[in-house]
């Protein structure tokens, strides 16, 4: 009886092994792993991707690699074939100059793969356990080096505080995130930080991407200015704060920046998104800077952008206000604009002396940044392209001028690089 039981157990074990062999996710009990904690995976597509195709993308990875024409390839990966054949022998990562964009699939060989997210540099060491027709079985182990970010924002309830466009938050102010649903998915329209001592936003931040750069059918401005429902009632700015003061109710996040849905456009008319602007500064002068950024974002009609995403922060610098100002020209309300000795309008709104933009582009994991700083005064005409370029500054210089820590959610090394380096040739003018 005992002998029969042993035979039955052996038969069941063999049956299990056969079942595992036909699975797309082999069990480590029959594939010898060469490092503790390693996992296994079957990649399809070796002989013919039409017969089956899978990719390698474990949890925490943002892009995959796969087999393409019998080589390992991934758009944001580089590879090195190892001289070792076991994972536990691969203790040292290859030198920077050894990495290649693709490597051939060789039975029994071992490899390194490398990619990166904003949070970490990610590595995979893997070996080919066997090739069976269209299937390539690999053993793999994942490693990563977390990229330090000492000044990143703390995640708020909405999670939007971690978006790349959001500057370092000031605890003395109020963070407001205006979101909406597009095709059933909640997303950020724009966010701002409210300085109630100035009755003015410190900055307004948003992004252009595949969704937000596309103008929706029939979407347009209704010019319905309303209070911001997300601000506490005691902090809310109303029409009375802007009425008959000689200044334009100037958009920070422009109406033309948000045309992908009517709701997105309507939200730009909250008074929290307005700033008291001198009429000729608002348009045509500042409007040219805004149009240039929209072109980079792909949000101007007839313009195709090369950037996958554009992160934008706009605002009036509140650390230096337009004091004792009296305009020479009447505003749209036929009143001469004025400010007091503290730089406030007749209804108590801070009036900035400078306006700024901080712009970060992203394409295939490559980032560039540029800033603009323009004096708030009367202008007789729109700036030329060369005049727009002349107002360009590095993000480091813009931070020094405004006191705002832009793009703080980038890893420290990347943030330091893109903010110190401003090259006009990186941008399409």
305/300 Cα distance (integer angstroms)? 9
Q: Taking the mean position of all CA atoms in its chain, how far away is CA 321?
A: 31
Hey, what are 428's tokens? Answer: 């399409």
* pLDDT beneath 50, residues of the chain: 1-29
pLDDT on residue 30 = 67
Hey, what are 291's tokens? Answer: 């149009």
The tens digit of pLDDT for each residue in 191-247 reads 999 999 999 999 999 999 999 999 999 999 999 999 999 999 999 999 999 999 999
How do the domains of the chain map onto residue ranges? 23-146, 160-426
Sort residue 34 into left (φ over 0), alpha (ψ -120 to 50) or beta.
alpha
* pTM of the predicted structure, to 2 decimals: 0.81
Q: Which residue matches tokens 């990495």?
A: 99
- Tell me the CATH number for domain 160-426: 3.40.570.10
The tens digit of pLDDT for each residue in 255-273 reads 999 999 999 999 999 999 9
The tens digit of pLDDT for each residue in 68-106 reads 999 999 999 999 999 999 999 999 999 999 999 999 999
């Amino acid at each position: 009886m005992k002998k029969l039981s042993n035979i039955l157990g052996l038969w069941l074990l063999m049956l299990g092994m056969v079942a595992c062999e036909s699975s797309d996710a082999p069990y480590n009990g029959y594939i010898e792993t060469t490092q503790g904690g390693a996992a296994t995976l079957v990649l399809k597509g070796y002989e013919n991707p039409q017969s089956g195709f899978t990719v390698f993308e474990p949890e925490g990875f943002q892009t995959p690699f796969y087999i393409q024409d019998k080589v390992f390839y991934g758009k944001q990966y580089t590879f090195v074939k190892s001289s070792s054949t076991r994972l536990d022998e691969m203790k040292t990562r290859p030198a920077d100059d050894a990495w290649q964009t693709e490597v051939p699939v060789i039975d029994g060989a071992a490899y390194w793969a490398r990619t990166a997210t904003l949070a970490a540099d990610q590595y995979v060491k893997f070996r080919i356990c066997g090739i069976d027709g269209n299937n390539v079985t690999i053993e793999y182990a994942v490693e990563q080096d977390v990229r330090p970010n000492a000044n990143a924002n703390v995640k708020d309830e909405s999670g939007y505080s971690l978006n790349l466009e959001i500057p370092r938050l000031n605890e003395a102010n109020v963070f407001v995130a205006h979101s909406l649903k597009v095709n059933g998915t909640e997303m950020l329209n724009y966010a701002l930080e409210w300085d109630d001592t100035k009755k003015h936003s410190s900055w307004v931040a948003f992004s252009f991407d595949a969704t937000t750069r596309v103008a929706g059918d029939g979407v347009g401005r209704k010019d319905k200015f309303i209070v911001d429902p997300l601000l506490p009632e005691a902090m809310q700015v109303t029409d009375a704060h802007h009425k008959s003061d000689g200044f334009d109710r100037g958009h920070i996040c422009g109406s033309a920046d948000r045309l992908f849905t009517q709701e997105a456009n309507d939200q730009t008319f909250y008074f929290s998104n307005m700033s008291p602007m001198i009429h000729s500064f608002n348009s045509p002068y500042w409007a040219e800077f805004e149009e240039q950024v929209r072109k980079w974002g792909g949000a101007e009609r007839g313009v195709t952008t090369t950037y996958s995403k554009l992160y934008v922060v706009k605002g009036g610098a509140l650390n230096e206000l337009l004091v004792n100002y009296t305009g020479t020209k009447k505003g749209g309300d036929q009143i001469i604009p004025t400010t007091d000795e503290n730089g406030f309008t007749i209804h108590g709104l801070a009036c900035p002396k400078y306006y700024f933009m901080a712009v970060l582009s992203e394409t295939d994991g490559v980032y560039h940044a540029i800033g603009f700083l323009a004096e708030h005064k009367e202008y007789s005409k729109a700036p030329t392209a060369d005049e727009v370029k002349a107002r360009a500054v590095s993000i480091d210089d813009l931070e020094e001028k405004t006191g705002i820590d832009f793009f703080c959610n980038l890893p420290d090394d990347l943030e330091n690089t893109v903010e110190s380096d401003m090259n006009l040739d990186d941008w399409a003018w």
